[in-house]
Amino acid sequence: MPRPARFDDEQIVAATARVAAARGPAGATVARIAAALRAPTGSIYHRFASRDVLLGEVWLRAAESFQAGFAQCLGADDARAAGLAAVRYVPQQVRDRPQEARILLLHRREDFLERGWPAAMKSRAKALSRQMDDGVQAFCQRLFGRSDAVTLRIAFYALAEAPLAAVRRHVQAKEPPPPTVDALIEATYFASIALAGDKP
């Protein structure tokens, strides 16, 4: 009868996420992950085909977790309030889940998306991009009645680019964003949707 594995996928991914958040994806070597897990390196290779696949899983889980909450906020019926909830979600997630924030904001997706990904993982990454694009387009249609290129550009800035830029320096400093950041993000949101033509 085979002996049950000491370390499951969840434990290995969690240990890898800790190492990647602290040292970056390049520093998340199998040896360091094994040390964080207090396991032999063979335990990792037994569960994951390669280091690339493991790092990809770490990035995908962080991105899927963040985006699920963001999409839920943005999808509410009242578009103006939904957008405000979505931008407020960004700094709060940084406070609540600083490890994920470091993985997503301090490194490029390409740092995790290297060679060796299975097709299913590539599909998950594409689905994330489609989810964001579709969510912002639907938001624009509900709020402005249109989703032309200029309106979409303004919406992406207000909903994603500005909030992420506002919190990044605090993620780098390993500190929670202060309340001033929330106020800046909200002011940017309202100014941006006004520029796009919303009439409160």
pLDDT tens digits, one per residue of 87-139: 999 999 999 999 999 999 999 888 887 666 788 888 999 999 999 999 999 99
pLDDT at residue 114, as a whole number = 62
Residue 108 DSSP label = -
The rounded distance, in Å, linking the Cα atoms of 169 and 166 is 7
Numbers of helices and strands, H then E, in the chain: 11, 0
What average pLDDT does the structure give for the chain? Answer: 91
pLDDT value at position 42?
A: 84
Residue length of the chain: 200
pLDDT over 90 at 6, yes or no: no
> In terms of DSSP H, where are the helices of 75-177?
79-96, 98-105, 109-112, 119-144, 149-156, 162-172
At residue 109, the pLDDT reads 82
Query: pLDDT at residue 160 above 70?
Result: yes
- Give the range among 19-23, 52-56, 81-85 with minimum mean pLDDT: 52-56
Q: What is the mean pLDDT of residues 36-59?
A: 88
- pLDDT computed for residue 118 by the predictor: 83
Residue (of 79, 88, 64, 62) closest to 185 by Cα position: 88
pLDDT of residue 3: 47
Domain limits, the chain: 9-195
Residue 95: the pLDDT is: 98
Cα 63 from Cα 73, distance rounded (Å) = 16
Q: What single-letter DSSP state applies at residue 174? A: T
Asked whether the beta carbons of 177 and 161 are under 8 A apart, the reply is no
Does pTM surpass 0.85?
A: yes
Could you give the CA distance from residue 190 to residue 188 in angstroms, rounded to a whole number? 6
pLDDT in tens, 21-42: 999 999 999 999 999 988 888 8
Taking the C-alpha atoms of 123, 128, 133 and 139 in order, what is their torsion angle to the nearest 10 degrees? 140
Burial of 14 (C-beta count, 10 Å sphere; 0-12/13-18/19+):
middle
Quote the pLDDT of residue 115: 66
| CATH number, domain 9-195, options 1.10.357.10, 3.30.470.20, 2.40.50.140, 3.90.226.10 | 1.10.357.10
Confidence (pLDDT) at 197: 81
Instruction: Report the pLDDT value the prediction gives residue 2, as an integer from 0 to 100.
Output: 44
What residue type is 35 in one-letter code? A
